[in-house]
Amino acid sequence: MKTLMTGNEAIARGVYEYGVSVAAAYPGTPSTEILENIAKYPEVYSQWSPNEKVAMEVGIGAAIAGARSIVAMKMVGVNVAADPLFTVAYTGVRAGLVLISADDPGMHSSQNEQDNRLYAAFAKIPLLEPSNSQEAKDMVDLAMEISEAFDTPVMLRITTRIAHSQSLVDLKDPLEREVKTYERNPRKYVMLPGNGRARRLVVEERMQKLADYSETVAVNYMELKDQSIGIITSGISYQYVKEALPTASILKLGFTNPLPSGLIKEFAAKVGKLYVVEELEPYIESEVRRLGISVVGKELFPPYGELSVRMVAEKISGQPGITVAPAFETPIRPPVMCPGCPHRGMFYTLKQLKLVVSGDIGCYTLGAMAPLEAMDTTICMGASISAGLGMIKAHPEMAENLVAVIGDSTFLHSGITGLMDVVYNGGNLTTIILDNSITAMTGHQDNPSTGKNLMGQTAPQVDFAALCKALGVKRVTEVDPFDLATVREVIKTEVAASEPSVIIARRPCALIIKNTEKPLYVQDCTGCKMCIKLGCPALSFDQESKTAQVDQALCTGCGLCINVCKFNALRKAGEDNV
C-alpha cells in the first residue's frame, strides 16, 4: 500500500518497521514530528529528553545494552550532542544506533545554517542522505544494518524539504522486535585513554572498510544518459537535478561518508563536463577535487540557502529562465506572539523599563519583534543567562538594568548550568523564567515541567522555585504575568538587588488552555494607542474613528490590555456598558 508521508513520518514508519525499540529526542524544527509520529507506535519506547545531549546518551545506552535505538534532533541540536557522539564513534554499539540530523538550508526556522554532513566526516561515522520520503524510510533499515555490521553509530541527514515534504511511501509489515542481551565489555565501552587509543585504531580500520562498502552499496549508483554532462548529487538536490536536466547522467549518492572515490573516478571518466550539485557546503565537491578531478560546483551555486529546479537549469544548461511577473509590494506578515499569550506583558514591561534583555530560543524570541522589540541578544538554547552574566562581568553597572529571559523548556535544556554559574561566580543577575510548562514554539511538546511524558503517562513536574533555591539563588519570586503592576515592581526590585535573583512568571500557553472568557469590547476609547503597543493581533487602531478595535474572533478575553488602558475603555463582556 502506498501512502503520502512527510520525510519525518516516513522515518517514524521506518523505526516501526525495522525493529527499533528505543527513540529519544529534543524537539526542534524541522525534526520534531519524527518523535511525535514514533509515539503513535506503542511498540517503540519513545521519550522527549531535556536536551539533545541527554537524548543522544539515552540512545547510546540503549544501543550498548542491545536495543536498536534512534535519536533525532535539528542540526543545531547536534552541537549539543556532539560530545557523546564523537566518543560513541570510538566505542561502537551492540545494537544499531542512528542519529537523525534535520538540517535547515534557507534557515526557515533556525538561527544558523550549518551543514551537518561535516559532522559525520569529523566524527568519522557513516552518513546517509535520502532524497524523498520512501528513501527516508528505507534508509532507517540501511542505517541500522550498517550500524550493526560495522559496529558504529550512523548519521541519517535530512533537510527541511525532505522532513516536511510529502511523497508516496510503500508500507511494509514490521520486523520482529528483539533486544539483544547485555554483554559487559569495559575495554570497548570504558573510554579511559588506554582503551580509547585502542579504539582509535578500530575507527581508522572501520573507515577503511566503510570506504570499500561505499563503492558497492546500492544507494550509490550511476544513471547514465547523455554523457556530455555528468552531475554528482545527493539529498533533495537530486530531485532538482532530475527535473531540471532530465537527460543528464547522474551519480546519485545516498551514502556520503566515506564518499566512494572509485565510483566518483569511474563516473568522471565516463562523462564530459562534471558538476557537483549540493546545498550549503562544498562537501562532495571538496572530495572530488581532492581526487584530482576537475569539477564545477560552488562557482555556480551559493554555499548558502536552498537550491531550486530553476537555479540548476539556468546555471548548468544555460537556459534562460521564464519571465516572471514582478511581485506586488506587500506588507510582511511576520509570526507573532499569540492573542492571549500570558507572556506578552512581560516584554511590554521590559520595554517600558528600558532594560537590556539577554534573550533565548523559543516563542519568546518573538519578543524581539515590533512593537515589543524587547530583546538585545539571542544566540542559542540557554545562552540568555550565561551571556547575561558575561555582559555584567564586562560592565558591572549593567546589572542594574539587565535581565536574562528564558522559557521553561529552554531553562531545563541548558539554562540551569548558566544559573549555577551566576550563583557560583557572584553574578548579580536577574533571570526571568517565563513558565508555560510546555515546549510551545515547536508545537506543544511535553517537557519535565509539564506533568506528562511523550508516551502519555503522568510524570513528576520540576519545581522551578525549589530548583533555583537549590542552586543557591536566595531571591526567588513567583508572579502572575497578567498582573502587570506587580510584575513591574518585582522586576525593579530584583534588578536593583545586589545578589542573583530569579523571577518565575507562570501561566499556561494560550493555545492549549480551554478558554471560557468572552472577547473584550471597547467603550469610550480616547485613541491614546497605549494598548496597541502590546502588539496583540486582536487589537488594532481604526484610523477613521480614531479608536482601538477588538477583533472578536481573535480576542481571548485575557484582559492584559485592560492593565495598560488608563481610561477604562477596554472592558470584559458583561461589565457595565454605560
Q: Give 164 or 172: the residue with its C-beta nearer to another protein.
A: 164
Q: Give 10 or 392: the residue with its C-beta nearer to another protein.
A: 10
Looking at residues 375 to 414 of the shown chain, list those that interact with another protein (rule: CB under 8 A): none
Report whether 410 contacts 460 (CB < 8 A).
no
Stretch that binds another protein, among 157-165, 211-219, 346-354, 455-463 (CB under 8 A): 157-165
Stretch that binds another protein, among 209-217, 272-280, 436-444, 515-523 (CB under 8 A): 436-444
Q: Give 233 or 349: the residue with its C-beta nearer to another protein.
A: 233
Residue span 210-239 as binding mask against another protein, x where in contact by CB under 8 A, dash where not: --------------------------x--x
Report whether 74 contacts 160 (CB < 8 A).
no
Q: Which of 194, 196, 272, 335 binds another protein (CB under 8 A)?
A: 335
Stretch that binds another protein, among 15-23, 252-260, 334-342, 469-477 (CB under 8 A): 334-342
DSSP state of 282: -
Stretch that binds another protein, among 89-97, 331-339, 496-504, 565-573 (CB under 8 A): 331-339
Report whether 419 contacts 471 (CB < 8 A).
yes
Q: Name 6's bridge partners.
A: 166
Q: How many CB atoms lie within 10 A of CB 390?
A: 17
Residue span 100-129 as binding mask against another protein, x where in contact by CB under 8 A, dash where not: --------xx--------------------
Lookup: cell for 398: 549593567
Q: Are strands 539-542 and 97-103 parallel, antiparallel or unpaired?
A: unpaired
Looking at residues 363 to 382 of the shown chain, list those that interact with another protein (rule: CB under 8 A): 363, 366, 369-371
Lookup: cell for 353: 523599563
Query: Does 466 sit near another protein (CB under 8 A)?
Result: no
**Residue 468, phi-psi category: left (phi > 0), alpha (psi -120 to 50), beta (remainder):** alpha
Q: Give 1 or 192: the residue with its C-beta nearer to another protein.
A: 1
Q: Is 505 in a helix, a strand, or coil? A: strand
Looking at residues 18 to 47 of the shown chain, list those that interact with another protein (rule: CB under 8 A): 29-30, 32-33
Distance separating alpha carbons of residues 90 and 57, to the nearest angstrom: 14
Cα 357 to chain centroid distance, Å, stands at 23
Residues binding another protein: what is the number (CB under 8 A)? Answer: 58
Residue span 339-368 as binding mask against another protein, x where in contact by CB under 8 A, dash where not: ------------------------x--x--
Stretch that binds another protein, among 136-144, 174-182, 324-332, 352-360 (CB under 8 A): 324-332
Closest to 437 (Cα-Cα) out of 428, 447, 424: 447
Please state the closest distance from residue 331 (CB atom) to another protein, in A: 4
Q: Give 217 or 539: the residue with its C-beta nearer to another protein.
A: 539
Closest to 511 (Cα-Cα) out of 429, 439, 419: 439
Stretch that binds another protein, among 164-172, 255-263, 296-304, 342-350 (CB under 8 A): 164-172
Q: Which of 331, 544, 576, 578 binds another protein (CB under 8 A)?
A: 331
- Residue 89 burial class via C-beta count within 10 angstroms: exposed 0-12, middle 13-18, buried 19 and up: buried
Show the CA angle centred on residue 358, arms to residues 354 and 362, nearest 5°.
115
Report whether 375 contacts 423 (CB < 8 A).
no
Q: Which of 1, 192, 327, 394 binds another protein (CB under 8 A)?
A: 327
Please give the single-letter amino acid code of residue 221: Y
Lookup: cell for 328: 506586488
Stretch that binds another protein, among 10-18, 204-212, 267-275, 301-309 (CB under 8 A): 301-309
Please state the closest distance from residue 438 (CB atom) to another protein, in A: 14
Q: Please, what's the b/e burial string for 501-533 (b: 16 or more CB within 10 A of its CB; e: otherwise)?
A: bbbbbbbebbbeeeeeeebbbbeebeeeebbbb
Q: Which of 181, 247, 323, 577 binds another protein (CB under 8 A)?
A: 323
Q: Using a CB cutoff of 8 Å and minimum separation of 24, what contacts does 37-42 make?
A: 37/8, 37/9, 37/11, 37/12, 37/13, 38/12, 38/70, 39/454, 39/455, 39/456, 40/12, 41/12, 41/15, 41/16, 42/455
Query: Does 4 sit near another protein (CB under 8 A)?
Result: yes
Distance separating alpha carbons of residues 542 and 553, to the nearest angstrom: 17
Element (H, E) at 433: strand 430-435
Report whether 99 contacts 77 (CB < 8 A).
no
Query: Does 555 sit near another protein (CB under 8 A)?
Result: no
Looking at residues 524 to 543 of the shown chain, list those that interact with another protein (rule: CB under 8 A): 529, 532-533, 535, 537, 539-541
Helices 344-352 and 484-496 cross at an angle (nearest 10°) of 50
Q: Give 203 or 336: the residue with its C-beta nearer to another protein.
A: 336
Q: Which of 192, 332, 394, 485 binds another protein (CB under 8 A)?
A: 332
Q: Which of 15, 24, 280, 441 binds another protein (CB under 8 A)?
A: 441
Q: How many CB atoms lie within 10 A of CB 422?
A: 27
Q: Which of 102, 217, 337, 433 binds another protein (CB under 8 A)?
A: 337
Please state the closest distance from residue 28 (CB atom) to another protein, in A: 9
Closest to 436 (Cα-Cα) out of 446, 428, 426, 427: 446
Q: Give 370 or 485: the residue with its C-beta nearer to another protein.
A: 370
Report whether 121 contacts 115 (CB < 8 A).
no
Please state the closest distance from residue 75 (CB atom) to another protein, in A: 13
Query: Does 164 sit near another protein (CB under 8 A)?
Result: yes
Closest to 211 (Cα-Cα) out of 158, 264, 280, 279: 264
- List residues binding another protein (CB under 8 A): 2, 4, 29-30, 32-33, 108-109, 132, 160-161, 164-168, 236, 239-240, 242-243, 306, 308-310, 322-338, 363, 366, 369-371, 441-443, 529, 532-533, 535, 537, 539-541
